[in-house]
């Protein structure tokens, strides 16, 4: 295929092993587990449209309801019309969140490189996994068995060398499927996929693709890069690469951190408690923001101070509960510790102050903002 001079070379890194885990009909399967009678009925997880005046959307439908054409994101009213005998069950998000946390614990037995997409979906980078398993397929099977053993829920997994293909693969065989797409098979796999499956090709883009005669990956592949960019902008640029098996996006996980802190040095040295408190306030604010940014909370606050004569004191205070990431509280405790430890060396001034939080843990799931159901209040 002729390459135009404007085309940047496409990088394809096949060294990673990425698994996309997608729980099968997650909310509906949890409800079936809690109440097995639902298994043989068309079950729709949504507020009953007869009680909401027709408002609301379907979060999940079980496999029986899907046979009537009901699917997630469909208006509940439409689901009722398609399947008048459907059972509508109001979502129990606290329960789903709890099960999701349980599944994440299982993920952590294999890797800490986990990128959650929703309660029921995550990418795992298992290139270097905790079980030293070389085969990602074996790992995926073990993971599925473990999830089943501990939750009695099934999931489907897609395995490949990048996120884009792994996600397509997890959708390939559902429920309880394992699909691996090896680098040498990626192109053939992608060319067969219908264009609707390419991420970013949504309701608005599909008709435009069809108008251009692009129905599958094959026809997408045949497009010139400049034409795709002209017709679809940045999405065109991305799709040109995706259909060639290129996607270098890393699995964006929260790195484990032992502590989060900020310190500042001063010249001239601080001479008064008022000055110290002003700077502790600023440090507390930065630490609280950083903690929130890293989605962590901690039980121990450490104050560090270094006097003008280089005498250094670190003093920690540990609480029984995790502290909220609140700048005012951090500042208050830091000021209290300061009053506790300050001594005659203060005459030489203070050249450094620091506040650090340790004893960290991930923020509870309920404090993390995940894109869920904007239509469902």
- Residues forming the site for Mg ion (CB under 5 A): 22-23, 120
Catalytic residue status for 121: yes
What's the 3-state SS for the chain?
CCCCCCCCCCCCCCCCCEEEEEECCHHHHHHHHHCHHHHHCCEEECCCHHHHCCCCECCEECHHHHCCCCCCCCEHHHHHHHCCCCEEECCCHHHHHHHHHHHHHHHHCCCCCEEEEECCEEEEECCCCCCCCCCHHHHHHHHHHHHHHHHCCCEEEEEECCHHHHHHHHCCCCCCCEEECCHHHHHHHHHHCEHHHCCCCCCCHHHHHHHCCCCEHHHHHCCCHHHHHHHHCHHHHHHHHHCCCCCCCCCCCCCCCCEEEEEEEEEEEECCHHHHHHHHHHHHHHHHHHHHHCCEEEEEEEEEEEECCCCEEEEEEEEEEEECCCHHHHHHHHHHHHHHHCCHHHHHCEEEEEEEEEEEEECCHHHCCCCCCCCCC
The one catalytic residue among 31, 32, 121, 193: 121
* Of residues 59 and 205, the one with the C-beta less far from Mg ion: 59
* Residues with catalytic function: 121
């Amino acid at each position: 295929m002729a390459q135009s001079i404007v085309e940047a070379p496409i990088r394809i890194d096949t060294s990673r092993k990425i698994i996309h885990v997608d729980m099968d009909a997650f909310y509906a399967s949890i409800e079936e587990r809690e109440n097995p009678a639902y298994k043989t009925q068309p079950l729709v997880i949504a507020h009953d449209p007869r009680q909401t005046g027709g408002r609301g959307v379907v979060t999940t439908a079980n496999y029986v309801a899907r046979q009537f054409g009901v699917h997630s994101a469909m208006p509940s009213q439409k689901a009722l019309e398609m399947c008048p005998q459907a059972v509508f069950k109001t979502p129990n998000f606290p329960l789903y969140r709890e099960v999701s946390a349980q599944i994440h614990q299982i993920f952590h037995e294999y890797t800490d490189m986990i990128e959650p997409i929703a309660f029921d979906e995550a990418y795992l980078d298992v290139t270097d996994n905790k079980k030293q398993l070389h085969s990602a397929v074996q790992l995926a099977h073990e993971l599925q068995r473990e999830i089943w053993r501990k939750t009695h829920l099934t999931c489907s997994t897609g395995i490949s060398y990048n996120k884009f293909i792994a996600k397509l693969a997890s959708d390939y065989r559902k429920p309880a499927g394992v699909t691996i797409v090896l680098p040498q098979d990626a192109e053939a796999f992608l060319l067969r996929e219908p264009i609707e499956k390419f991420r970013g090709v949504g309701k608005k883009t599909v008709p435009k693709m069809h108008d251009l005669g692009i129905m599958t990956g094959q026809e997408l592949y045949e497009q010139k890069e400049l034409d795709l960019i002209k017709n679809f902008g940045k999405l065109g640029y991305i799709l040109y690469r995706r259909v060639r098996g290129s996607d270098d996006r890393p699995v964006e996980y929260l790195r484990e951190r032992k502590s989060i802190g900020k310190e500042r040095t001063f010249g001239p040295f601080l001479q008064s408690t008022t000055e110290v408190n002003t700077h502790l306030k600023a440090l507390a604010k930065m630490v609280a923001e950083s903690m929130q940014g890293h989605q962590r909370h901690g039980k121990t606050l450490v104050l560090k101070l270094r006097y003008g004569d280089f005498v250094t004191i670190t003093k920690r205070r540990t609480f029984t509960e995790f502290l909220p990431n609140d700048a005012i509280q951090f500042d208050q405790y830091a000021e209290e510790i300061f009053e506790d430890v300050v001594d005659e060396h203060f005459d030489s001034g203070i050249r450094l102050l620091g506040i650090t939080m340790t004893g960290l843990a991930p923020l509870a799931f309920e404090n993390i903002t995940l894109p869920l159901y904007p239509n469902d209040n």
